[in-house]
Structure 1
Amino acid sequence: MRLAYKAVLCSPDFLYFQEMPGRLDGEALASRLSFLLWRSIPDDELMASAQTGELLTDKGLKLQFSRMLRDPKSKRFISDFAGQWLDLRHVHDTSPDRFLFPEYFCDNHLVDSCVAETEATLEEMIRQNLPVRTVVDADFVLINERLAELYGIDEVKGLSIRRVNLPPDSLRGGLLTQSSVMKVTANGLTTSPVLRGVWVMDRILGTPPSPPPPGAGSIEPDTRGAVTVREQLAKHSQLESCASCHAAIDPPGFALESFDVMGKWRDHYRSIGEGDEVDIKVALRDVKYKRGLPVDASGVTQDGFRFHDIYQFRTYLCGQQEQLARNLTERFLVFATGAGISFADCPIIGEILQRNAEAGYPIQSLLQDVILSETFRSK
């Protein structure tokens, strides 16, 4: 029996959807939709819709999409999509330096909370059909007491994640400044403008930089506090082969330098060597780090937009709503079909963006139009 079980589990009929080339039939479309939104097999209602042919119509497909998205099982889609799109699967891959950031050492509650925040935020954006600009600039956060402490937000108590409205001048809101993003874009020791810049270009704007040329080398932060990573990058970028790429990569990374490895606001770096002594205790012990050089979060984007801080850089990103929507639509399509974007998909993506432009590219509408597309309904 064990041998028979192995044979079943390894067979193509078990591992792959049975989809014939061309337009999908009702059962194949039901499976594709169910594994997208529920990460599981279709239920009876979905299969009944497929067998009657209703699912093959736009109206029937919309009806099932709305029903399935309201079901609690759709949280599986939120978690898996966020993990893939935003790199949340790697949130435990590195740990901040225990001497530079002792307050985060072994704080798994904070790490788990920050992932929960990002997933809850994405869920809110989809369920409320919010415009795509909320990816980088929203007037709310979904946090618990531990995250509120990190972000400096008062009157939030308890472990549960809940929505908190923000004042107009808040630096929080959206995915860009969330703790989970700051964590996955740290380099395992301290912050890295290069990693953060590449992440913003790729994950948020959908314009990933070219791979570094052979022998380009890496930038290691100076934890002694003698120089900043900006000064190191300036020296590194003197090489002609490195300058053009860093002109695009570095500005988004510099804009996020005011956030430490877990997303707390800072005005100065921390150092182990040079700097001013600080009178701070963590877990009843004096900290070993010192107050280092000031943070400079200014920069100039490759197209000439000059910014001084995260507020102005966020304004720059909000001015690129079409690119934000294009990136998100493409990622929905890749996640839904399991195939990369081809030349033939470009007109379909263009039509989806055109239909949703006037409304500000609502996120649920983008996802629904991906499901209604010929790419999703065909193999």
Structure 2
Amino acid sequence: RGFDQNDDKNEQRFPEFAILRGDMYEESVRFFEDLFRNDGSVLDLLTADHTFLNERLAKYYGIDGVKGEAWQRIDGMQAKGRGGVLGLATVLAVNSGASRTSPILRGNWVYETLLGEKLPQPPADVPQLPASVPSGLTARQLIEKHSSLPECAKCHERIDPYGFALEQFNPIGRLRPASVDTRTQLADGVRIEGLIGLREHLAIKRMDDVIKQFCRKLLGYALGREVALSDLLLIDEMQRQLKTNDYRFSSLVEAIVLSPQFQKIRGQLAKNQD
């Protein structure tokens, strides 16, 4: 089901979500459409300082000066605590529970969707986390207690820190008014804090991994199939083209459409239409 029809949130705790989810979805669509149509830099996936808002969503984000239903480009989003895909309400909300945030889901999204890493399946006997945070605990404390179990620790130490860095955002992607501890240590020992620290880490130390994963995803979408071992040379070429063309999106499209893999699929489609 599309995010704009998502009804997984607790309506009593977040009654505004039903009104805002369509706007959140539209923001994400416009963000990516702008990147693709205007041949933006793929680096903007992480480092963009702009987004697109109407008055309703701007108020929700705490941003003044946006009036009416018309969508406007708004710059300076990093200074407002957002920027790039990590600051999109859709990403933050869909990777949360109905009533609480989920550092596990958010961290796993960074780990798998952005970095292309994979975790093994969890053991079958792992206890389920409660839907709501028990009284006296924070979501972070709940997760840390769960993740300390010996059978869970090895995987959770890889993903949970990414999610802890995003704990300043509530379950539907709103910045919490009160300060939250977003300091954390990644599995490799690097210490980061908040969305800013996470973005800097990904954009500086892990950007090659993010770019490679984006190339994989785009190629798989273009070919209409899973990426295979035989595609690895093409993925390497896509990354080279990006680096020599200021990371412009068009360089990826050109590398794909000129590839034997894409030409073969085009030939098969043409043959089937004859």
TM-score (norm 2): 0.88
Which of residues 192, 200, 218 is equivalent to 1:315?
A: 200
Question: Is this contact kept in 1: 2:97–2:131, CA < 8 A?
Answer: no
1:377 is matched by which residue type in structure 2? Q
- Work out the CA distance in 2 between the residues paired with 1:367 and 1:187: 36
Decide which structure has the larger Cα Rg and report it: 1
**Unaligned 5+ runs, structure 2:** 266-274
1:118 is displaced (CA, Å) by 0.4
Question: Is this contact kept in 2: 1:201–1:249, CA < 8 A?
Answer: yes
* Residue aligning to 1:98: 11
- Work out the CA distance in 2 between the residues paired with 1:142 and 1:339: 31
Aligned-residue Cα RMSD (Å) equals: 2.0
1:168 is displaced (CA, Å) by 5.7
Q: How does 1:247-266 map to 2 (within 5 A)?
A: 247-266=157-176
- Work out the CA distance in 2 between the residues paired with 1:240 and 1:346: 36
- Work out the CA distance in 1 between the residues paired with 2:71 and 2:189: 39
Between stretches 254-263 and 116-125, larger displacement belongs to: 254-263
- Work out the CA distance in 1 between the residues paired with 2:7 and 2:112: 20
Deviations 1:57-110 (A, max 9, x none): xxxxxxxxxxxxxxxxxxxxxxxxxxxxxxx83453433223333443x32xx1
- Work out the CA distance in 2 between the residues paired with 1:218 and 1:250: 16
Question: Is this contact kept in 2: 1:91–1:183, CA < 8 A?
Answer: no
2:195 is matched by which residue type in structure 1? I
Check if 1:366 corresponds to 2:257: no
Which of residues 89, 94, 100 is equivalent to 2:2?
A: 89
Question: Is this contact kept in 1: 2:168–2:180, CA < 8 A?
Answer: yes
Which of residues 184, 188, 194 is equivalent to 1:299?
A: 184
* Residue aligning to 1:192: 102
1:266 is matched by which residue type in structure 2? R
* Residue aligning to 2:270: none
- Work out the CA distance in 1 between the residues paired with 2:71 and 2:113: 24
Distance 1:327 1:167, change over 3 A: closer
**Unaligned 5+ runs, structure 1:** 1-87, 269-293
Question: Is this contact kept in 2: 1:135–1:174, CA < 8 A?
Answer: yes
Aligned residue for 2:96, secondary structure, equals: coil
* Residue aligning to 2:116: 206
Which of residues 71, 83, 105 is equivalent to 1:161?
A: 71
- Work out the CA distance in 2 between the residues paired with 1:94 and 1:364: 36
* Residue aligning to 2:213: 327
1:314 is matched by which residue type in structure 2? R
Distance 1:224 1:246, change over 3 A: closer
Question: Is this contact kept in 2: 1:186–1:192, CA < 8 A?
Answer: yes
* Residue aligning to 1:220: 130
* Residue aligning to 2:26: 116
TM-score (norm 1): 0.65
- Work out the CA distance in 2 between the residues paired with 1:264 and 1:323: 28
Question: Is this contact kept in 2: 1:118–1:178, CA < 8 A?
Answer: yes
* Residue aligning to 1:47: none
Alignment size in residue pairs? 264
- Work out the CA distance in 1 between the residues paired with 2:77 and 2:173: 19
Question: Is this contact kept in 1: 2:93–2:173, CA < 8 A?
Answer: yes
